[in-house]
Amino acid sequence: MTAAEALSVMNVRAQTLYANVSRGKIRAKPDKADPRRSLYHRDDVLKMAERRSGQRKVEKVAAQTIDWGDPVLLSAISTVSNGKLWYRGRDAIELANTASFEEVAGLLWETDAVLIRPSNTRKAASADDPLTASLVALARRSARDLPSSGRTPLVLRDEAASVLSTLAQAILGGTASPRAGGTLSERLAVSWGCSEAQDAIRRALVLLADHELNASTFATRVTVSTGASLSAGVLAGLATLTGPLHGGASSSVRALSELATDIGPEAAVRNWLAQGRAFPAFGHPLYADGDPRASALLSTVSVPPLYAELAACVERAVGERPNVDFALAVLGAAFDLPAQAPLSLFALARCAGWLAHALEQAQTGRLIRPRARYVGLQPKPSE
């Protein structure tokens, strides 16, 4: 179907059609007769039209909204549309070609490039790994920082830069001098002893800076909606990011690569599937044609043969392409970065987005408080 035909059948606006395409609910392909247009899968369009024609209960709509469903709140920060990621209307892939992470953080916060200063926050213990140090540093700030409610955007943006600096210092650890200069990507490359990885690190930070209302960002917004401090919101986001279905997905890639080293990529993929395990670093519900962030990052890195073969084997087996979690694991392997580098990069990058959403949420002055649809034992009135 052409776009006009699909819109007529579904009786929706063009934005709704494109949103369903970006979420993978309607398949699309270029029109060979006119490459500027797209054609839409007839069965998918009819299925969505049938879904819209039914009178769904409010409870069912709300439940489906939470699970990769319709938007649940207003935001002007970022969106996924037509298979691309946009930061305040600008293509994130194009930004990754030239922009620094500090400039992108400024774009998300609607200010100038953010200055990420070395923090004086003391370390929890000299032997702490970056994740532990980050959680402890943010928890300490959360205990003393002022609430986010009732404060001007200018003051909150200054505090946001301080919170981001705290996280950066916790991850950089004792290798960062208080007088260290340069961009965050340069400081990370020096800290990890791999100056040649600086540009790839910069690209990764830009590409991961925000991704609309993902799980960790939602956790941040819920926290800040109570009036809690910006650092408390970032702490909630970081805790959520550690899950294996979110920022921790790249660790699964490392485990799969270790298995592939022992028994070969093809056997490793078969073994993985035989155990009923999913591939969390492959495929993405918002990108029907593949995660463009992964493509943008992998195209600038010399992918180790083992990882290239693994990606090919997984795609043949389950039909899914690598996403940005896989690309982060490849980045770590290609430059022999520390084991926690992928999660550290993800956390530092996404902190810019968490704080952008925290700033936006704080200005609404509204509490995010959904209702639960109760499915337990029915209450019995007392006699």
Please tell me the predicted confidence (pLDDT) of residue 280.
81
Phi/psi of residue 260, each to 5°?
Answer: -65, -30
Q: What crossing angle do the helices spanning 230-241 and 215-225 adopt, rounded to 10°?
A: 150
Question: What is the distance, to the nearest Å, from the Cα of residue 174 to the centroid of all Cα atoms in its chain?
Answer: 28
Question: Which residues, including other chains, have CB under 8 Å from residue 172's CB and lie 6 or more apart?
Answer: 187, 188, 191
246: annotated active-site residue:
yes
With 0.85 as the threshold, say if the pTM is over it: no
264 and 163 together in one domain: yes
- Residue 283 is encoded by which pair of tokens? 């495929």
Please tell me the predicted confidence (pLDDT) of residue 326.
95
Please give the span between the terminal C-alpha atoms of the chain, in angstroms, as a whole number.
Answer: 61
- Residue 11 is encoded by which pair of tokens? 């009786």
Residue type, 168: A
* Three-state SS letters, the chain: CCHHHHHHHHCCCHHHHHHHHHCCCCCEEEECCEEEEEEECHHHHHHHHHHHHCCCCHHHHHHHHHCCCCCCCCCCCEEEECCEEEECCEEHHHHHHHCCHHHHHHHHHCCCCCCCCCCCCCCCCCCCCHHHHHHHHHHHHHHHCCCCCCCCHHHHHHHHHHHHHHHHHHHHHHHCCCCCCCCHHHHHHHHCCCHHHHHHHHHHHHHCCCCCCCHHHHHHHHHHHCCCCHHHHHHHHHHHHCCCCCCCHHHHHHHHHHHHHHHCHHHHHHHHHHCCCCCCCECCCCCCCCCHHHHHHHCCCCCCHHHHHHHHHHHHHHCCCECHHHHHHHHHHHCCCCCCHHHHHHHHHHHHHHHHHHHHHHHHCCCCCCCCCCCCCCCCCCC
73 and 106 together in one domain: no
57 and 167 together in one domain: no
∠ CA 235-23-329, rounded to 5°: 50
Higher pLDDT, 5 or 70: 5
Q: What is the count of structural domains for the chain?
A: 2
Model confidence at 145, in pLDDT bands (50, 70, 90)?
very high
Q: For residue range 271-329, list pLDDT tens digits in order.
A: 999 998 888 899 998 898 899 999 999 999 999 999 999 999 999 999 999 999 999 99
Q: Which of 210, 211, 284, 291 is catalytic?
A: 284
Q: For residue range 34-84, list pLDDT tens digits in order.
A: 777 889 888 888 888 877 655 455 556 666 666 666 667 899 999 999 899
| CATH of residue 199 | 1.10.580.10
Please tell me the predicted confidence (pLDDT) of residue 59.
57
Rounded to an integer, what distance in angstroms lies between the CA atom of residue 304 and that of residue 282?
A: 17
Radius of gyration of the chain (CA): 22
158: annotated active-site residue:
no
Q: 315: exposed, middle or buried (C-beta count within 10 Å: 0-12, 13-18, 19+)?
A: middle
Rounded to an integer, what distance in angstroms lies between the CA atom of residue 296 and that of residue 328?
A: 11
126 and 273 together in one domain: yes
Q: For residue range 151-207, list pLDDT tens digits in order.
A: 999 999 999 999 999 999 999 985 544 445 699 999 999 999 999 999 999 999 999
153 and 202 together in one domain: yes
Decide which of 46, 81, 116 is a domain's last residue.
81
Whether 269 maps to a domain, the answer reads yes
130 and 240 together in one domain: yes
Q: Say if residue 333's pLDDT is above 90.
A: yes
Q: For residue range 335-346, list pLDDT tens digits in order.
A: 999 999 999 999
Please tell me the predicted confidence (pLDDT) of residue 187.
96
Q: Which of 44, 145, 210, 246 is catalytic?
A: 246
69 and 189 together in one domain: no
Q: Which of the residue ranges 24-28, 139-143, 153-157, 209-213 would you say has the lowest mean pLDDT?
A: 24-28
67 and 103 together in one domain: no
- Mean pLDDT within 200-220: 97
Decide which of 49, 81, 113 is a domain's last residue.
81
Q: Say if residue 121's pLDDT is above 50.
A: no
Rounded to an integer, what distance in angstroms lies between the CA atom of residue 221 and that of residue 244?
A: 21
Exposure on the CB side of residue 168, measured as CA atoms within 13 A: 32
Q: 316: exposed, middle or buried (C-beta count within 10 Å: 0-12, 13-18, 19+)?
A: exposed
174 and 115 together in one domain: yes
- Mean pLDDT within 114-134: 72
28 and 139 together in one domain: no
330 and 286 together in one domain: yes
- Residue 225 is encoded by which pair of tokens? 């909606």
- Mean pLDDT within 245-259: 88
Beta strand 78-81 pairing with 84-87: antiparallel
Domain of residue 270: give its range: 99-383
**Torsion-angle region of 379 (φ positive above 0: left; ψ -120 to 50: alpha; else: beta):** beta
Whether 51 maps to a domain, the answer reads yes
357: annotated active-site residue:
no
Higher pLDDT, 4 or 122: 4
9 and 125 together in one domain: no
